[in-house]
């Protein structure tokens, strides 16, 4: 079939294109949010960032996934049988406040896993400066939302009542925590604003695609029978 510019343009216009600048990242819960007792307060609220740093997370990557396979051969070429998966970490860039409170938040989050030795600045005698808490007390939740351009009305304009950016994909990172808080380069000749790069690890993710509802075609049990 020969290439047709009009067909190409029509197909692209039909489903549109995704803009990677239309997103937001939110920290829904810090350390203690999984705790049944709720004994650990939310560090975001204590630092005045109770909106989950949605206005501070400048960039991040939508996580991918890699299948782990097992080679199996009966006859002929080897078949790679998927049996497990690995999810890629999320790296986010955070715009720093003048007091760098965002860095302190992530450092305190890590303190739940490696102890509070870092904050013992005056070398006072404290108990267990390198003691860690339970895994359940240190994990949190991160949310990623991908948006499209504002929905237009019949007149071709946008921004009227009830219209706006549409959330297409929502990803929840369960059991998340900052495994890496990168260094911040300071220099006299640098006139830019401060940024912090943080790598988030998590156990698994949950996704909701608002354009194509979940559980529509893969709702099967282990016996391969479609659930009614």
Domains of the chain from N-terminus onward:
13-65+81-209 (2.30.110)
Q: What is the rounded CA–CA span in Å between residue 138 and residue 130? A: 15
pLDDT score recorded for residue 110: 93
pLDDT score recorded for residue 23: 92
pLDDT score recorded for residue 160: 44
Q: 60, 91 in Cβ contact below 8 A?
A: yes
Q: Which pTM was predicted?
A: 0.79
pLDDT score recorded for residue 67: 94
Chain centre distance of CA 226: 32
Q: What is the rounded CA–CA span in Å between residue 134 and residue 2? A: 62
Query: pLDDT tens per residue, the chain (228 residues)?
Result: 566 777 778 777 777 788 888 999 999 888 878 766 543 446 777 777 777 788 999 999 999 999 999 999 888 899 999 999 999 999 999 999 999 999 999 999 999 899 888 888 887 777 888 888 888 888 999 999 998 876 555 554 544 444 577 888 999 999 999 999 999 999 998 888 999 999 999 999 998 888 776 555 555 555 555 554
Nearest 5°: phi and psi at 104? -65, -35
Which two structure tokens, joined as six digits, stand for 85?
């998966």
pLDDT score recorded for residue 213: 64
pLDDT score recorded for residue 159: 46
pLDDT score recorded for residue 150: 67
pLDDT score recorded for residue 146: 92
Q: Identify the CA nearest to 65 among candidates 46, 45, 50, 82.
A: 82
């Amino acid at each position: 079939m020969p290439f047709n510019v009009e067909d190409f343009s029509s197909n692209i216009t039909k489903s549109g294109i995704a803009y990677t600048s239309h997103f937001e990242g939110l920290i829904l819960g810090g350390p203690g949010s999984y705790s049944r007792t709720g004994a650990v307060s939310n560090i975001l609220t204590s630092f005045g960032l109770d909106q989950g740093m949605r206005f501070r997370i400048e960039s991040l990557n939508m996580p991918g996934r890699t299948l782990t396979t097992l080679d199996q051969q009966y006859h002929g070429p080897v078949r790679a049988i998927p049996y497990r998966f690995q999810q890629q970490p999320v790296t986010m860039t955070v715009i720093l406040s003048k007091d760098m409170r965002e860095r302190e938040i992530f450092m305190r989050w890590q303190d739940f896993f490696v102890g509070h030795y870092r904050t013992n600045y005056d070398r006072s005698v404290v108990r267990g400066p390198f003691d860690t808490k339970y895994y359940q007390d240190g994990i949190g939740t991160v949310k990623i939302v991908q948006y499209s351009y504002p929905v237009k009305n019949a007149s071709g304009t946008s921004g009227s009542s009830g219209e706006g950016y549409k959330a297409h994909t929502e990803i929840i990172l369960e059991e998340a925590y900052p495994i890496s808080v990168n260094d911040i380069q300071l220099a006299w000749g640098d006139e830019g604003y401060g940024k912090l790069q943080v790598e988030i690890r998590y156990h698994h993710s949950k996704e909701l695609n608002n354009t194509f509802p979940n559980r529509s075609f893969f709702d099967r049990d282990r016996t391969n029978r479609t659930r009614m």
